[in-house]
Amino acid sequence: MFNSSILDNLIALVVVILALSLIVQSVQQGFKKLLKIKSRQLEESLLDLFENVLAKAGTEESAVSPILNMLPFRRSSIDKTPADVKILYTAVQDEFKKLGRVAQSGKLMLDSIAKEDLLKVLRKIAPGNLLPGINFGESLQTACDQITQLDKILQGIDANLLSGAASAKFAALRDHLTPIINDFSAVTTGGKVNPGLAIEHVLEMRQISLTGVFDLLGELQDSVEKQYQTASGPDKIALDALSAGLRDVAAKLNELRQHVDAALAPLRTRIAQVDTWFDTVMQSFDERYTRGMKTWGLVISFVVVVIMNANVFEIYRNITGNDQARNSIIQMADTVKKAALSAAPAAPDQQTATINTIKDSVNQTQQSVNLYQQFQFQPLTWNVISNWLNGKCYAKDETPWGKRGDDLRVLLGWIFMTMLLSVGAPFWEDALESLFGVKNLIRRKGSIKNVEGESGAGNPKS
C-alpha cells in the first residue's frame, strides 16, 4: 500500500523550495531592474546591428556580458565601436530619447525594440548618418540641379505652337514630370538641399519611372516632326527650336535618372539591410540574454542558498524527522502559492528601473525571506560563520578529515539546492499543484474503497 508520508515529505520539501525560489525570483528581478541588464543588452545588439549594416567590423569584446562592461576598468562598447557606427548609434539613441524611452536619470532605457519602431526612428535621422563615406548631400544636390534644369527647359517650350494631338501629348508629359519636380522642390530651399533633411523626406520622394515618359516624348517628337514638314517661315523656325528643346528634355531625363539612382539607391539599400539584419541580430540578442540570465540566475541562487543556509539534505532530514514541522509546512502551502502568484515577474514593458519598482522588489524579497523563516529554518548568522572559522561547530573528537567531510556535505547540499532553484518558481508551483492533485486522487480512491468495504460487510458469504 502506498505510504502517504512519503508524498507529504515531498510536498513539504517542494513548499520549501518554492519559498526559496520566490526569494531568488524577487532578487533577480530587482537585479535586472537596478542594473538595466536588458536595456544594456539591447544597446549592445543595436551596435551589432549597425556594425553589420555599415559593414564595420566590431571588436570581440562586444560579446562580453553588459554587466562586465560596467566594471570601471573596462571601456564601454560604444567607446570600442568604429566611429561611423558610433555616429549612427548616437543619432538613433537621441531619437529614442525624444520618444520618451528614457529612465528617470534621463539615460536611454530600452526594454524592447520592434523592427517597425526602429525603422520609424531611422527615418528621423540625417541620411549621412546611415551613409558614412558617401557625400549624400552632394549627390542629391546634383540630382536637384538636373531637375531644376529640366523644369526650365519644359517652361521654355511654347506649347501654343503644337497641334491638338501634339499639345495633348505635351500636357501628358508635364503631368508625368510635375510630381517628380515637386518632390525635389520640397527638399530644397532656393535650389539648395535643406540642411535639416531627414531620411523620411527622401523616402517620401517618388520612384522615378521614365518608361512611359520616354514613350510620350517619342510620340511628341514624331508629331512635331510631322508638323515641321508642313510648316513654313517663322513657324518652321519656332518648331525647330521646340524640337531641339524636346531633345534637351530627353538628354536631361537620362542624366536625371543616373543622378537620382546614384543619390537614392544607396540609402534605400541601407534601409533594406536594416530590415534584413534586424531579425538575425535580435535572435542573437534573445539567445545571449537568455543564457546570461540563466548564468546569473545560478549565481543568485547559490548566494541565496548560502545566505539562507538552505542545505537540501538537512532540510529533508528535518522534514522527515519531525512530523509537526512537516505538517506545519504543508499547512502553509496555500500561503506560499498565493505569494507566488503575487510575485509573478513583471511584463516586458514594466521593466523600467524606477525607485518604486526597486522598492517593490526589495519588499517582495523581504516577504519571501520572512515566509521561509516561518518554516523554522534560519539563515546563516555571523555567530555561525565565526564558530565555523574557529572550528567550534565540530565535535571535539572529530578528525580533520571528518571536519572536511562535514563541510563537503554542506557544500554539496547547497549546490544541489542551487540546481533545484535554477529551474524557477513557476516549475515548483506546478510541481506543488501536481503533488496535491496526486494526494487528493489517492485520498478519493481510499474513500471509495472504504465505502465499498462497509457496504459489503453485512453480505452473507455464499
Hey, CA dihedral for 367, 309, 424, 376, is it positive or negative?
negative
How does residue 418 score in pLDDT terms, banded at 50, 70 and 90?
Answer: very high
Q: 150-201: per-residue pLDDT in tens?
A: 888 888 888 788 888 888 888 888 888 888 888 888 888 887 888 788 888 8
Q: What is the pLDDT of residue 167?
A: 85
Q: Which residue has the higher pLDDT, 150 or 60?
A: 150
Residue 420 binned pLDDT confidence (cut-offs 50, 70, 90): very high
Q: What pLDDT does residue 419 have?
A: 93
pLDDT of residue 302: 92
Cell numbers for 188, please give them: 530644397
Q: Is the pLDDT confidence value at 68 over 70?
A: no
E strand spans, 401-447: none
pLDDT at position 1:
44
Burial 267-294 (b: 16+ CB within 10 A, else e): beebbebbeebbeebbeebeebbeebbe
Which pLDDT does position 453 carry in this prediction? 54
Average of per-residue pLDDT values in the chain: 79
Question: Could you give the 3-state DSSP secondary structure of residue 99?
Answer: coil
Q: State residue 351's pLDDT score.
A: 43
What are the distances in angstroms from CA 31 to CA 24, 148, 312? 10, 60, 25
Percent share of the chain, pLDDT over 70: 82
pLDDT digit string, tens, across residues 248-291: 888 888 888 888 888 888 888 889 999 999 988 888 888 888 88
Looking at residue 341, what is its pLDDT?
Answer: 80
**Cβ neighbours of residue 30 closer than 8 Å, sequence gap 6 or more:** 358, 361, 362, 365
Per-residue pLDDT tens digits for 355-364: 666 677 777 7
| Alpha carbon distances (Å) from 46 to 66, 125, 285, 290, 348 | 13, 15, 9, 17, 18
Cell of 177: 514630370
Mean pLDDT of the 17-45 span: 83
Give the separation between CA 378 and CA 92, rounded to whole angstroms. 51
Is the pLDDT at 241 greater than 70, yes or no?
Answer: yes
What SS3 class is residue 312?
helix
